[in-house]
Amino acid sequence: MMDQAEHLRNIIKQNTVRPTTVARIITITSGKGGVGKSNVAVNLAVKFQELGKKVLIFDADFGLANVEVMFGAVPKYNLSDIIYNGKSMSDVITYGANGIGFISAGSGIVSMRNIDNSQLSYLSHSLASLDYLADTILIDTGAGISDSVMEFVMAGTEILLVVTNEPTSLTDSYSLLKAMSLNPKYNKNDCRVKVIANKVTSVEEGELVYKKLESVVKQFLNVNMEFQGIIPYDINLVRAVREQNPVSIYMPNSISSKAFESLAKRLINEEEYMPEKTTRESISSILLRMFKKRSM
């Protein structure tokens, strides 16, 4: 009888074609919870799609499933089902509003330990298909500086840091940037940290929030940071969350929806000045490295 390892090897042999380009990966993170990080991820995904991008969200928050709550869609499977239950990548992807796909990966990553080489190869093969399905992948990390969060932050080269005009948000954001800068894998020239001021009342307040963080970062840390813009406080966004519907769909003409659209356009325009897609690290190699580390 064919064992699982042989079965996985046979599947890989049947289809060894790999994508010629890799998806752009944007890691969205925050120093603390409650600052609207997942709202940024979900609404950016909506706007990217409206602007013609093929987008996918990778929900990497181990503790909370905010993306699925905001979409009002409960995933049937996670990444572990690919290895242990014979599911395909298409089975693992759940589709929310406007057909935007997301992978709720937290519990899957936690449970996947002691994976053998055949399983790792099969997982790598499966993850490579994501580059066919999307040209932009948004990774929504957990909040804080836990090992799991920092694994994703250190894996990314394009980071959106969501902050609010609260002392705890600013101090925790500084702690995250400090942990990142002290990591031996950190390379200032390869990592772009883009700060988004969320829940502010004006552009001026958002710039002030950024300058507060920038002043201490410049003084004590060797981090390349830039201001990416604001998402204004909007009661319509609060209502949209209650309705489990992204505000960009629930109230497309609201001030927050317009701000997400502006942010998405800036990010798309910046892509022209980024390295060619072929030089990027793929989502499969990033995740595979994490799984290998957990299996050691």
What is the average per-residue pLDDT within 226-245? 95
- Indicate the number of domains in the chain: 1
Q: Residues 205-222: pLDDT tens digits?
A: 999 999 999 999 999 998
Listed range (2-11, 161-170, 177-186, 256-265) with the worst mean pLDDT: 2-11
Per-residue DSSP letter, 105 = -
Which domain covers residue 188, as residue numbers?
A: 21-295
Residue 241 banded pLDDT, cuts 50, 70, 90: very high
pLDDT of residue 192: 85
Give yes or no for residue 17 having a pLDDT over 50: no
- CA distances to 58, 159, 285 from 131, in Å: 13, 19, 11
CATH number of the domain to which 193 belongs: 3.40.50.300
Model confidence pLDDT, tens digit, residues 128-164: 888 888 999 999 988 888 877 888 888 777 999 999 9
Query: Which element (helix H / strand E) includes 248?
Result: helix 247-250
pLDDT for 250: 95
The dihedrals phi and psi of 191, each to the nearest 5 degrees, come to -120, 125
Q: Is residue 116 part of a domain?
A: yes
CA–CA separation, 127 and 240 (whole Å) = 32
> Could you tell me whether strands 94-95 and 136-143 are parallel, antiparallel, or unpaired per DSSP bridges?
unpaired
Do the domain assignments include residue 194?
A: yes
Residue 1 is assigned to a structural domain of this protein: no
**Average pLDDT for residues 263-280, to the nearest whole number?**
74
Residue 114 has pLDDT above 50, yes or no: yes
| In-domain check, residue 118 | yes
Structural domain includes residue 3: no
- Confirm if 70 and 250 have CB atoms less than 8 A apart: no
9 is a domain residue: no
Contact between 160 and 29 (Cβ < 8 Å): yes
What does the alpha-carbon distance between residue 143 and residue 130 come to, in Å, rounded to a whole number? 25
For residue 258, give the 3-state DSSP assignment.
helix
